[in-house]
Amino acid sequence: MMDYNSSCHGDKFQVQLLPSMYGVEFCVALVGNLFALRLLATRERNNWHTGVVLSCNLAISDLLYVLTLPLLIVYYMQDKNWLFVIAVCKIERFLFTCNLYVSIYFIMCISVNRYVAIVYPFFSQNHVNPAKAKAASVVIWIFVTAISSPVLKFASTCPEGINKT
């Protein structure tokens, strides 16, 4: 018979390895996304084409996720014990979920934009512009916020007094 009270073998791996992995990810992603935003904002200042608009949104989404990594580092360093208030847990899960979906949609938009530019260059030149990319970006952010909002209600720590997300 299986003992459901014993901890999983993966728990030891998570507690020992994930904090350092998240630490490296935090440093690399923070520097990389800030660098990308800086380059896009300075070098492309006079040429804000569709690709720049979509790439900036992707970098912003990743930065929002990166800002939650220190919370996860503390969580795993404390043997998967959530030390922060429940609101922080909800926000962390919400930002993770938003990043997941926003990244998918913006990578899809970048891919479609490149496809249209290559396969239909004249259509792309006349109909694809930064204003439409900005409008699509706003729609994506609103849509993802709406579909991710249930996380704000349902994300929680364990009710038994063991603060595990």
> Is the residue at 3 inside a domain?
no
Residue 159 lies in a domain: no
Separation CA 94–CA 110 (nearest Å): 24
Amino acid symbol at 110: I
Give domain status of residue 165, yes or no.
no
Report the C-alpha gap between 23 and 124 in whole angstroms. 41
- pLDDT range class, residue 8, cuts 50, 70, 90: low
Domain assignment of residue 76, given as a range: 12-154
Mean per-residue pLDDT, 149-156: 90
Please check whether residue 2 lies inside any domain of the structure.
Answer: no
**Total tally of structural domains belonging to the chain:** 1
- Res 1 pLDDT > 50: no
Both tokens assigned to 81: 């014990």
Q: Which of the pair, 151 or 162, is modelled with greater confidence?
A: 151
- pLDDT (average), residues 84-105: 95
Measured at the alpha carbon of residue 120, what is the angle toward residues 117 and 123, in degrees to the nearest 5? 90
104 in a structural domain = yes
Confidence band of 157 (pLDDT split at 50, 70, 90)? confident
In this structure, what CATH number is given to the domain that contains residue 38? 1.20.1070.10
Quick one: average pLDDT of 88-112?
Answer: 96
Q: Identify the weakest region by mean pLDDT among 5-9, 89-93, 115-119, 148-152.
A: 5-9
Is 121 a member of any domain?
yes
What is d(CA 147, CA 98) in angstroms, rounded to the nearest whole number?
9
Give whole-number Cα distances, 5 to 1, 8, 69, 100, 156, in Å: 12, 9, 29, 32, 21
Residue 23 has pLDDT above 70, yes or no: yes
Domain annotation covers residue 6: no
> What pLDDT was estimated at residue 2?
40
- Separation of alpha carbons 94 and 101, rounded Å: 11
Could you tell me if residue 108 is inside a domain? yes
